[in-house]
Structure 1
Amino acid sequence: MSEASTYEEDFWEEDSDDDWLTDTPITYREAVASLRTLVTQHADVQVDWNGRRGPDNDARVTFAGPTPLHVRLRSATQLADFTHLISSGIPLPNRHAVWYPQEQVIRARLIGDFDQVHNVLAQQVLPKARRAVNPDSALGRDLAGLLAEVGAFHASEPATSGGAPGRTMRLVAVPRELRLLYRARHGSGLSPVLELTQASARNREEAEQELASYGTSYLFSLGKATGASLRLWNTEYRMGSRRGPSHSGKVRFPTRRYASHPAELYGAGNSLARDPVERYLKYYQVLEYYMPKAVAAAVAAQGVARAALATSPLGRPRGSDRLDAERNALDAVIESAVTPQQLAHLLSDSDLFATISSSQIIQHVQALESDASGGLLAGYDYRSDLSLRVYGIRNRLVHMKEGGGPRGLPLLAPYSREARDLAADLRTVRYLAEHAMERWSTAL
């Protein structure tokens, strides 16, 4: 059995000081004993404890299945939640959800722009509200109560011909059991989950499929109706690089003038509210903005009349090196914006280089060459390989035709696992965009 499923994600983290962990009349040992008795009736659940206490010694509850889930019993106060979960629920880790077969209910976590949802809810409760919702404000508490008591954005399926109720869907407050399983810190009333009732699934696989089918459609309709950006959790979400860009924190009085359009694009790329795919394309558009300048400079340097007669400054194979092709125009921008030494300094970050030199994290694009130990090749000019990688990712993002892009390349969809792994490439294309803006800036 594999080790714990530790879905690390920006929105939900491990609980540490939840206000629902209160004093209890039973001891921790008694709670473990109670769970051990309970799981004798459930072959797919196991409780292990070494008899000691502490963060590394808490009892571990294991839920078997295609994706085993390991959860720590951190306090005896969690006994009631674990009891209900073991007795009635079936975890669906691939969707960060729980299915309750007897209740015909599935509850699943959501990720996306919660602030957007809060503001839409606020408009319904208080139409004149204009500011972002503070969870600790009176309005924030009202919204939390709304989600906890009645939910929001109700949608119902017509009753069947026999009079049986149809499925219903709504957003509700995060249940404590979901927080236990998937380590949700931000489980306050303003972090909604999706609840599907009258689910007809007969087994785990059908429950996942029913949630995915109806949940995806519901969230799409919600987005159309309100502009809310919410989606179901996907087991493929992970990060290829946890390191972010290095910022000095120093803001100096400007001495250089930058063109307004790339500056706006760069600012949009910096917006964490945007998804990684959109941010990547914004940074790429900065590089694209400077292509005419870079191509003109290369044409002049090569002494030819036009771009169709010039070649890539990064030495592409003959026949595929014409400078009037966008891929080679990107070569000209990168060749003008950064030196091999500057790029080597960026790539000296081992975490970043390990990601973009791997052919498995972002597939079907150029992976950078590495030495036998997985490090940088000494004296190697990485600009050519990096340009191919940047352009390759751009193609997988832009060419969203059904069936794939050029030469059948698969799509790099906004909420795919690869999109979640764009952190290292985002940092790299951002670096290139910054240097391009510096290269073509002028003195104030």
Structure 2
Amino acid sequence: MEDISQYDDDLWDDFEDDWFAPPEITYQEAVERLRSLAGQRADVVVEWDGKRKGDGRRWRDDARVVFTGAGGPRIRLRSAAQLPYVERVVGSGVPLPERHAIWYPQQGVITARLVGDFDQFHSALVRSLLPRQRRAVDLEGPLGADLAGVLASTGAFQVSEEADGSGRSLRLVSVPPELSLLYNTRDGGGLSPSLELSGVSAPDAAEAQKTLVAYGTSYLFGLARAQGASLRLWDDGYRLGSRRGPSYSTKLRFPQRQYDTEPAELYGAGNAAGRHPVERWLKYYQVLEFYMPKAAAQEVARQGVAKQDQAQSPYARPGRTRSLGSEQNQLDAVIDLAVTQAEVAGLLRDRELFTTLSDPAVIQHVETLEDDGSGAPLPGGDYRAAISSRVYGIRNRIVHMKEGGGQRGTPLLGLHSREARDLAADLRLVRYLAEKAMEHWATDLP
């Protein structure tokens, strides 16, 4: 997993040339126009090695517009067709990268990226614009196209402040191309919205951002209360997780193994994208919890003791009891039986995943995986004990929902916390462990 605010060049591969109008000038002419425009600003640099598309220009040879004074956002110019949008940003825009927004001081307008549950937004849009619509809208059909057109042309949920004469107004609009180019915000399909705040008067970018946060946050809360749309402003602290996500297979074979019904249902509930990440994480954890009695019984038999409390965790746990009477030690037993050291090593070869799980700033107050000093896993390292501790630590931070925090004052991992939105890598990890546990205890079908 990585912070997408680093603007990885690979993200730009999502943009197709035909998303923009056919170019009317050559690529070199477009670059020269941008260089001339950037020369009027101290915080913009146009980088290009002079190769033209006719000379076999590759994506790494594309020109880049870099906003050096605004935290480093950049635009890769893939085609001269993008020129009008890039010109608008370079000519009159001020990036606000901490909020994935652009401020246009001369127009007094800020457009900002939104994240959240787009399905709820789509439903709210249908209820507002098509109140007689009784069925769900096919976003790929004509009605969905109509909604996208309305959002692009007029916006939705517009409110204005007229009493004080400020002329401020707020509305949701489709993501403008220049915002997409700067921050790669095409996520969510044709109906992914952005916030447009008009009537902004501010002396500098910092004050403009404060205005955006103050009015935008309140507006989105009001929208959530009135319409049920779960949307929020982007925050540069968000880490959305590995773009690769779980490895899904397109091959589905006739069943040969029988899986336990209850954990299969829990696993299915965890896969529901509409659920909150914390809920999804807990469903996967419940799969592991389901197999704790079986794992403990196998350890009791393997260790040749009479009672579960006499059996010990397969992992050394300095400073505390290793008895299988403890849920954490039972989790150790599940993981030790369900997944091998080599399988875990294979999972952690995903550099993005390992980088996140070894970063103490992503999910705090839980176990992090030790690296070799260069950001890679330890050669031959067995990470199962550390993974078990991390999973159980997240479990405690979620389920001990008491005022004042959990065990020993550990802060809660609340539904609306930043960490709750950073669970992508840990969702992938606990989902993987749940799958392995179900496979381990599956039986052959007749």
TM-score, length-scaled by structure 2: 0.81
Query: 1:235/1:312 Cα in 2 relative to 1: closer, same or farther (>3 Å)?
Result: same
CA contact (8 A) 1:119 1:133 kept: no
> 1:283: Cα distance to partner?
0.9
CA contact (8 A) 2:366 2:389 kept: yes
> 1:432: Cα distance to partner?
1.7
CA contact (8 A) 1:154 1:169 kept: yes
CA contact (8 A) 1:173 1:188 kept: no
Give the AA of the match of 1:35: L
2:146 pairs with 1:142: yes
Give the AA of the match of 1:88: S
* 1:60 pairs with one of 59, 64, 82: 64
Q: Match of 2:99?
A: 95
Give the AA of the match of 1:368: L
Local SS of the residue matching 1:193: strand
Q: Match of 1:42?
A: 41
Q: Which runs of no fewer than 5 residues in structure 1 stay unpaired?
A: none
Q: Distance in 2 between matches of 1:250 and 1:178?
A: 38
2:17 pairs with 1:17: yes
> 1:266: Cα distance to partner?
0.6
CA contact (8 A) 1:148 1:189 kept: no
Query: 1:83/1:358 Cα in 2 relative to 1: closer, same or farther (>3 Å)?
Result: closer
CA contact (8 A) 1:14 1:184 kept: no
Query: 1:223/1:316 Cα in 2 relative to 1: closer, same or farther (>3 Å)?
Result: same
Question: What do residues 63-114 of structure 1 show as CA deviations (whole Å, max 9, x unaligned)?
Answer: 2324122223444444443343333321111211111223222111122333
Q: Distance in 2 between matches of 1:208 and 1:385?
A: 40
Q: Match of 1:107?
A: 111
Q: Match of 2:179?
A: 178
Question: What do residues 151-187 of structure 1 show as CA deviations (whole Å, max 9, x unaligned)?
Answer: 1122334622xxx146322111222322332234469
TM-score, length-scaled by structure 1: 0.81
CA contact (8 A) 2:148 2:191 kept: yes
* 1:133 pairs with one of 129, 132, 138: 138
CA contact (8 A) 2:281 2:427 kept: yes
Question: What do residues 398-430 of structure 1 show as CA deviations (whole Å, max 9, x unaligned)?
Answer: 456677544454555667775565444333322
Q: Distance in 1 between matches of 2:362 and 2:86?
A: 36
Q: Equivalent pairs: percent with the same residue?
A: 57
Give the AA of the match of 1:16: E
Q: Distance in 2 between matches of 1:233 and 1:212?
A: 10
Q: Match of 1:329?
A: 330
Give the AA of the match of 1:172: V
Provide the aligned length of Structure 1 versus Structure 2.
Answer: 434
Q: Match of 2:121?
A: 117
2:194 pairs with 1:193: yes
2:209 pairs with 1:205: no
CA contact (8 A) 2:267 2:284 kept: yes
Q: Distance in 1 between matches of 2:290 and 2:396?
A: 17
CA contact (8 A) 1:152 1:170 kept: yes
Q: Match of 2:88?
A: 84
CA contact (8 A) 1:118 1:133 kept: no
Q: Distance in 1 between matches of 2:88 and 2:124?
A: 33
Query: 1:349/1:102 Cα in 2 relative to 1: closer, same or farther (>3 Å)?
Result: closer
Q: Which is richer in helix?
A: 2
CA contact (8 A) 2:70 2:95 kept: no
> 1:299: Cα distance to partner?
5.7
Query: 1:205/1:396 Cα in 2 relative to 1: closer, same or farther (>3 Å)?
Result: farther
Pairs within 5 Å for 1:180-329:
180-185=181-186, 190-238=191-239, 241-274=242-275, 276-295=277-296, 298=299, 303-304=305-306, 307=309, 311-317=312-318, 319-329=320-330
Query: 1:167/1:297 Cα in 2 relative to 1: closer, same or farther (>3 Å)?
Result: farther
Q: Distance in 1 between matches of 2:349 and 2:89?
A: 47
